[in-house]
Amino acid sequence: MATFVPSQQSSSGTGCDAAPAIEVRGLSRRFGARTVLDRIDLTIGVRERAGIWGPNGSGKTTLLRCLAGTLTPSEGRALVLGHPSGSRNARHALGVCLGQDRAFYGRLSGRENLLFAARLHMHPASCRLAVAAICDELALDSFVDRPVERCSSGMRARLAVARALLGHPEVILLDEPVRSLDDTASELVWAALGRRPGLTVVVASPRRDDLAWCSRVIDLVGAAAPAARAAASG
């Protein structure tokens, strides 16, 4: 069962001399006058299965975007395996499945989209085998060759997870990955993640049931600075 903790400490036991998978210190993000993240501190260990929980609007997706390097923090820092988020080394280590990243080339098939993504991270000779393997693992074969524009939201969500797993990432960021999935498809996703013991998994969701698979769940409000927590609690 997942344990909910507001602290910064990782429970992975990877050793004090190793860089954590994720390290966030004093991270804030503002959009104009609106502060979405206020001085967030958290650490996630290598090979940890960590959940990020918070109510809608608490900044979970914004935090993942800062980690992925698609959004620059207003203040503070975020490191991925010791590398600044958004740097070449950090991007190379990451697999990312965020809400806005579920967009595909609609007129191309799912397989063509996956092959395109694979070629960005892998040797060309390995791409077709890697795509075939992930399609088999996530049971995509019944729809992967149809144009993505004719796929349901659940099919696209499964394709997005498949894309994030291509290229053997060391850390994967998932924003509500099973939101559009039925029980069978959800089990396939969790099973695929579970077969990768060397992978650090970070899952964000406002629903605690979605995070039951995680070994630790971080309350995003609890990860903020004391003054920010007091403001959030009213």
Q: Is the pLDDT of residue 11 over 70?
A: no
Q: Which of 47, 61, 126 is nearest to 98 (CA)?
A: 61
Res 221: pLDDT: 84
pLDDT in tens, 182-229: 999 999 999 999 999 999 999 999 999 999 999 999 999 887 655 444
Return the percentage of the chain with pLDDT > 70, whole number: 87
Q: What pTM was computed for the model?
A: 0.88
pLDDT in tens, 121-144: 899 999 999 999 999 999 999 999
Q: Which domains does the chain have, with CATH numbers?
A: 3-104+171-232 (3.40.50.300)
